[in-house]
């Protein structure tokens, strides 16, 4: 009996995922992590109002969720002061990235990103047969000029750019981002990933312009709103581009409970402001820990701090392995020279105290706390 007849593209791809989850690592090590500081989740959790709304909605889980996500899109329209038909809701930014790539990219189409930027985007591009062209970071920042130049060279249909950036936590001001938008080659779409936008300083995010057909901005309830497990994201763009998502998206992809939680979270801006403040304090604490141990924290506009461990990837990998073995889940960038760092999510005091103790021990075992 013959087996499945995969498409040539599917047959050529590895069966893998962009990230190894902490649960996979916990099963391998035989115990749970004592400090979960690697996935940029919000340790401060969602609004209690969101939790209550989800609990209430759970009793109605026998119903499908609204395939139009009407109530959430209506609330986002008011919150952002943009037309409702300029917003599409999906299964986190990851899901929306998949739909965007499916809409724009076929086999051999050119796509531009930064070398070492968000790997899930690359995963989707590969899944639809696109050809990735990556430019290096400039220092620890994505390089808008290099992205534009590469897009012109390869006639790219899509550019991916995150502001603030993951995995480095750095950011560009709105004027720099606007120059990137203004410089887009004809027919090229910019995917502006603003997953960490709520943490960004004033002046980092350009004004939303849904009249521009070549820019789509993606945001999420996973980070500052604390709903990573609910998988709710949204994209803002020209109504014609947003409407095109209806051609390919899973219309029941965002479940009823998640929709209720996201709506309640959006309506509790006081909780959001408190989380942003707690996150900033935790970032400062992480920076102080790193500095006190002779390491260099990279200034961050996200809910994590990337720490330069010095002396290259071997030292960073040794530190990461030591932390993971001691029960602290952290991650590191994948690509040189950023992989000289480890990336640590903002956490509560107990988690940060444990991190400090285990990071101190890791550096001691390497022979020196200084770089």
Domain hosting 171: range is: 48-267
141: β partners: 138
Average pLDDT, the chain: 96
pLDDT band at 24 (very low <50, low <70, confident <90, very high): very high
Does residue 189 share a domain with residue 103? Answer: yes
Mean pLDDT along residues 24-40: 94
Please write the tens of the pLDDT for every residue from 287-340: 999 999 999 999 999 999 999 999 889 999 999 999 999 999 999 999 999 999
* Residue 188 within any structural domain of the chain: yes
Question: Of the candidates 290, 270, 267, 289, which has an alpha carbon nearest to the alpha carbon of residue 278?
Answer: 270
Q: What pLDDT sits at residue 363?
A: 95
Yes or no: say if 329 and 358 are a contact pair by the CB < 8 Å rule: no
Please write the tens of the pLDDT for every residue from 78-116: 999 999 999 999 999 999 999 999 999 999 999 999 999
DSSP for 49-66 reads: HHHHHHHHHHTTTTSPPP
- 278, with CB counted inside 10 A (0-12, 13-18, 19+), is middle
Q: What are phi and psi of 189, to 5 degrees?
A: -100, 135
DSSP for 123-185 reads: HHHHHTT-EEEEE--BTTB--HHHHHHHHHHHT-SEEEEESS-TTT-----HHHHHHHHHTPP
Mean pLDDT along residues 345-360: 97
Does residue 196 share a domain with residue 69? Answer: yes
Q: Is 32 left (phi over 0), alpha (psi -120 to 50) or beta?
A: beta
- Domain boundary pick from 236, 267, 298: 267
Q: Which CATH number characterizes residue 232's domain?
A: 3.40.640.10
* Residue 118 within any structural domain of the chain: yes
pLDDT at 20 over 90: no
pLDDT band at 19 (very low <50, low <70, confident <90, very high): confident
Please write the tens of the pLDDT for every residue from 141-170: 999 999 999 999 999 999 999 999 999 999
Yes or no: say if 246 and 73 are a contact pair by the CB < 8 Å rule: no
Q: What pLDDT sits at residue 17?
A: 76
* Residue 137 within any structural domain of the chain: yes
* Residue 93 within any structural domain of the chain: yes
Does residue 93 share a domain with residue 145? Answer: yes
Of 6-20, 180-194, 209-223, 273-287, the range with the lowest mean pLDDT is: 6-20
How many domains does one find in the chain? 2
Count other Cβ atoms within 10 Å, centred on residue 243.
Answer: 13
Residue with tokens 């968000």: 118
pLDDT at 370 over 50: no
Please write the tens of the pLDDT for every residue from 190-216: 999 999 999 999 999 999 999 999 999
Yes or no: say if 24 and 230 are a contact pair by the CB < 8 Å rule: no
**Tokens linked to 358:** 């285990």
Give CA–CA dist 103/87, Å, rounded. Answer: 16
pLDDT at 369 over 60: no
Does residue 275 share a domain with residue 138? Answer: no
- Domain boundary pick from 226, 252, 267: 267
Does residue 198 share a domain with residue 180? Answer: yes
Can you give 2-29 as a three-state secondary structure string? Answer: CCCCCCHHHHHCCCCCCCCCHHHHHHHH
Residue with tokens 């071997």: 314
Residue with tokens 């999420």: 220
Does residue 104 share a domain with residue 34? Answer: no
Give CA–CA dist 249/68, Å, rounded. Answer: 11
pLDDT band at 367 (very low <50, low <70, confident <90, very high): confident
* Residue 11 within any structural domain of the chain: no
Does residue 328 share a domain with residue 247? Answer: no
Q: What pLDDT sits at residue 368?
A: 55
Does residue 233 share a domain with residue 182? Answer: yes
- Domain boundary pick from 240, 267, 294: 267
Does residue 174 share a domain with residue 68? Answer: yes
Count other Cβ atoms within 10 Å, centred on residue 164.
Answer: 25
Yes or no: say if 181 and 215 are a contact pair by the CB < 8 Å rule: yes
3-state secondary structure of 106: coil
User: Looking at the whole model, is its pTM more than 0.85?
Assistant: yes
* Residue 14 within any structural domain of the chain: no
Q: What angle do CA 25, 46, 17 make, to 5 degrees?
A: 30
Does residue 255 share a domain with residue 289? Answer: no
Prior bond of 310 cis (ω within 30°)? no
Q: What pLDDT sits at residue 2?
A: 87
Does residue 336 share a domain with residue 243? Answer: no
Give CA–CA dist 56/53, Å, rounded. Answer: 5
Q: Which CATH number characterizes residue 315's domain?
A: 3.90.1150.10
* Residue 106 within any structural domain of the chain: yes
Does residue 69 share a domain with residue 32? Answer: no
* Residue 4 within any structural domain of the chain: no
Give CA–CA dist 16/20, Å, rounded. Answer: 9
pLDDT band at 18 (very low <50, low <70, confident <90, very high): confident
Give CA–CA dist 158/193, Å, rounded. Answer: 13
Element (H, E) at 241: helix 239-244
């Amino acid at each position: 009996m013959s087996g499945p007849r995969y498409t040539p593209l599917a047959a050529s791809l590895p069966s893998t995922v962009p990230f190894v989850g902490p649960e996979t690592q916990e099963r391998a090590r035989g115990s749970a992590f004592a400090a979960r500081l690697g996935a940029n989740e919000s340790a401060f959790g969602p609004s209690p109002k969101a939790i209550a709304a989800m609990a209430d909605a759970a009793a109605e889980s026998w119903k499908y969720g609204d395939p139009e996500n009407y109530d959430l899109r209506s609330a986002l329209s008011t919150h952002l002061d943009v037309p409702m038909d300029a917003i599409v809701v999906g299964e986190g930014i990851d899901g929306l990235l998949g739909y965007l790539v499916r809409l724009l990219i076929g086999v051999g189409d050119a796509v531009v990103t930064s070398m070492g930027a968000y790997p899930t985007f690359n995963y989707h591009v590969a899944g639809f047969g696109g050809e990735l062209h990556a430019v290096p970071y400039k220092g620890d920042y994505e390089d808008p000029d290099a992205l534009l130049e590469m897009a012109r060279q390869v006639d790219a249909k899509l550019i991916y750019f995150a502001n603030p950036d993951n995995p480095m936590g750095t950011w560009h001001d709105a004027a720099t981002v606007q120059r990137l938008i203004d410089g887009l080659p004809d027919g090229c779409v910019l995917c502006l990933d603003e997953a960490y936008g709520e943490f960004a300083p004033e002046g980092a995010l350009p004004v939303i312009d849904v009249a521009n057909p070549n820019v789509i901005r993606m945001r999420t309830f996973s980070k500052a709103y604390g709903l990573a497990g609910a998988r709710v994201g949204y994209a803002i763009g020209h109504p014609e581009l947003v409407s095109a998502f209806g051609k390919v998206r899973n219309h029941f992809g965002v479940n009823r409970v998640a929709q209720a939680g996201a709506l309640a979270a959006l309506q509790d801006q006081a909780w959001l402001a408190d989380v942003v403040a707690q996150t900033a304090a935790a970032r400062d604490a992480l920076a102080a820990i790193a500095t006190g141990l002779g390491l260099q924290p990279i200034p961050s506009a996200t809910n994590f701090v990337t720490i330069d461990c010095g002396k290259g990837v071997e030292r960073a990998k040794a530190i990461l392995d030591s932390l993971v073995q001691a029960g602290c889940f952290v991650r590191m960038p994948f690509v040189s020279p950023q992989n000289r760092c480890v990336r640590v999510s903002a956490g509560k005091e107990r988690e940060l105290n444990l991190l400090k103790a285990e990071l101190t021990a890791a550096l001691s075992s390497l022979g020196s706390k200084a770089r």
